[in-house]
A and B are shown apart, each in its own frame.
Chain A
Amino acid sequence: MTDHTDVTSGTDVVSGNGAPGGVPLAKFDDPHLQPYAKNARRAEMLIAALLLLGLAGFCAYGGLYWVGGQTQWEGVFGGVGFFAFGFGLSAWGKYLLPQGPFVEERHSLASTETEVEAMASAIEDRGKMVFYRRGFLGTILGAGAGVMGIVLAFPLLRSLGPPPRKTFDTTDWRAGSYLVDLDGNRIHKADLEVGGSLTVFPEGFAGSSASQTMLIRPGPTDVDIVTLPGRETWGPRGYLAYSKLCTHAGCPVGLYEEALQKLLCPCHQSLFNILTGANPVFGPAPRPLPQLPLMIDSAGFLVAQAGYDQPVGPGFWERS
């Protein structure tokens, strides 16, 4: 409640006996009560125009809605309607209402020191009343509350889904898995030209997230490509296969830069060198893309010799 302090500019104070505080009074010609606008008439007309424009906008939107609507014109009508209407209303508040300025006293938030101490003592003393010489009970209470907190976290977390177990360590690739495209067609050794690339999956698991693999044919078609020691047989007839899951954050590394023989990941621009075992040469990826060992069966179809020799995709705690 405002204090009835003396104020300036021709106001007067009315006080009532017993009523808390007084109610300030102002005369009509007090400059604080005058509108902000120098020319109130002109301001009124402009505000009226704005409000009318708002009204028109709303009507136009309503009409457009009834005849079926159209996104861009809905945006114009609704936008102009709300904007003009709001602009007019704000202008009314700024230009036509009493310009003030008005003042309000702040009262200290803080209580007196005595009151603070009284509150603290109340908490402390009454708390002591609870636990005085009953510390053992308090301990049991605390232990119970602690266990409750821990146990209540179980349904909140564990019930949500399965534990990881070995799910990050393996894919659906096995020894003898035929390479297929998304439609399930087996890949023949004559399918890709030099410089060609294709997304492949193990047969029966087309579309699998963890098993997605980039099949690339960087090399001459009659030569086996060796990327690293121990991988002499992994790249038959110019073909190489790498896991498509980026070892950084798991995005599909689908950008085969043919001239540079690199794989670029579009998410954070990790760059992998295909000819040296897809090791990262730029960007944040910390590990090479795992390579799938390939072979060609008697009919000429591409087959995996085995699954990946390490977990695919981004790193995790249990990855050794």
Chain B
Amino acid sequence: MQKRLRVTHLLPGLLVVGVALVGLLTSGASVSQAATPPTTVPAATASATTATTTAPVAKVVLKSATSASSTIKYNLPPSSYIAPGQTLFELNCSSCHGVDASGTARAPNLQGLGPSTVDFWVSTGRMPLAVATAQPVQKPPRFDRKQTLQIVAFVNSLASTAPDYPSGIPTVNLSAGNLSEGNSLFVLNCAGCHTITGAGDALSNGFQAPSLHKIYPRQIAEAIRTGPTQMPHFGPGNLSNQQVTDIVKYVTTVIQHPVDQGGLGLGGIGPVAEGFIGLLFGVGGIMLVAFWLGDRK
């Protein structure tokens, strides 16, 4: 029986072309790019940075404290931040942590945990807690940098920092980091929970190892040194400042800017996503062509 060639019969072709276009747009490919791979890793900040926030603020001057090497400097906020910090703390944190941060039934004692701990939790937005869950998750921070440092200054003033926590807020000198060292350290110490591509995955009992794609160098160092929630606590005897710098450099360059030479990264979670795509677009796409090519009866 004679049939008109319908546009719908070209749907499989349009599907493939559509996927191709999407792939092009998202992979950012350009014709002029040669086959030889990038000889430098895609750039991240190469010099020492202080933390950046969304709201432009005057560069915050931190009081210099202990500094073991040129790789990481630990600094404290100025003592003038303590008073405004107390106000912020009373308004936002004391209902759970108590007016003197010594903890209640709902929230732990913050005294002696050091400035890095408080800075990590507040600047990643995990605190204040929106919903009581097994594990607070990263979300847009409620406070700007200055306010965060004020809260840090206040909590820090309540007790001296325990010896196994850093006594300041770290500033990582990324240019002193060694990429291959960072690679092997990351694989041995971090990939087991955060995955080798830093995509994050679920731990037991409702906890998770979060994705590492949206975290600043300072916060990486803070997490390593303070071990939030389920994360182990890596002190200087375990990972030296140089080693932490190496890891931070690796995470901020390779993990956060992966070399996806092969195209769409598919989330970096490996065969689960690949199988989905392979079956849906590979087998499914070709089956659509078969459906067009053959009879329906």
Contact = CB atoms under 8 A, between A and B. Distances in A.
Interface of A: 34-39, 42-43, 46, 64, 67-73, 75-76, 79-80, 83-84, 87, 90-91, 94-95, 99, 182, 188, 190-199, 216, 252, 254-260, 262, 264, 266, 269, 271, 282
Most buried by B among A72, A190, A197, A216: A72
- SS class, residues of chain A in contact with chain B: mixed
Contacts of A76: 20, 23-24
Interface of B: 1-5, 12-13, 16-17, 20, 23-24, 27, 29-31, 33-36, 164, 184, 188, 192-193, 201, 203-205, 207, 209, 227, 229-235, 237-238, 261-263, 289, 293
Contacts of B234: 193, 196
30 contacts: A34-B2, A37-B4, A39-B4, A42-B5, A64-B31, A70-B31, A72-B27, A72-B29, A73-B24, A73-B29, A73-B31, A79-B16, A80-B16, A83-B13, A84-B13, A87-B289, A90-B293, A193-B234, A193-B238, A195-B227, A199-B188, A257-B203, A257-B204, A260-B205, A260-B230, A262-B204, A264-B203, A266-B193, A271-B204, A282-B204
B62 to A, nearest CB: 24
B5 to A, nearest CB: 5
A194 B233 contact: yes
A38 B13 contact: no
Nearest to A282: B204
B27 A198 contact: no
A255 B192 contact: yes
- Give the 4 A-B CB pairs with smallest separation, nearest first: A254-B192, A191-B237, A195-B233, A193-B235
Given A36-B2, A192-B235, A193-B235, A269 B204 contact: yes
Contacts of A262: 204
A182 B183 CA distance: 14
Contacts of A190: 237
A99 B1 contact: yes
Contacts of B231: 258
Most buried by B among A34, A43, A182, A193: A193
A198 B2 contact: no
Contacts of B1: 36, 99
B235 A75 contact: no
B258 to A, nearest CB: 15
B233 A36 contact: no
A71 B261 contact: yes
B35 A38 contact: no
Contact of B238 (A39, A73, A84, A196): A196
- SS class, residues of chain B in contact with chain A: loop
Contacts of B184: 182
Nearest to B293: A90
A71 B262 contact: yes
Nearest to A188: B237
B2 A99 contact: yes
A69 B201 CA distance: 36
A196 B23 CA distance: 42
A260 B233 CA distance: 13
B13 A255 contact: no
Contacts of B193: 254-255, 266
B23 to A, nearest CB: 6
A264 B194 CA distance: 13
Given A38-B2, A257-B207, A260-B205, A197 B232 contact: yes
A79 B24 CA distance: 13
Contacts of B192: 252, 254-255, 266
A79 B281 CA distance: 13
Given A70-B30, A257-B204, 9 more contacts: A37-B4, A39-B4, A68-B35, A72-B29, A87-B13, A196-B232, A258-B227, A260-B230, A266-B192
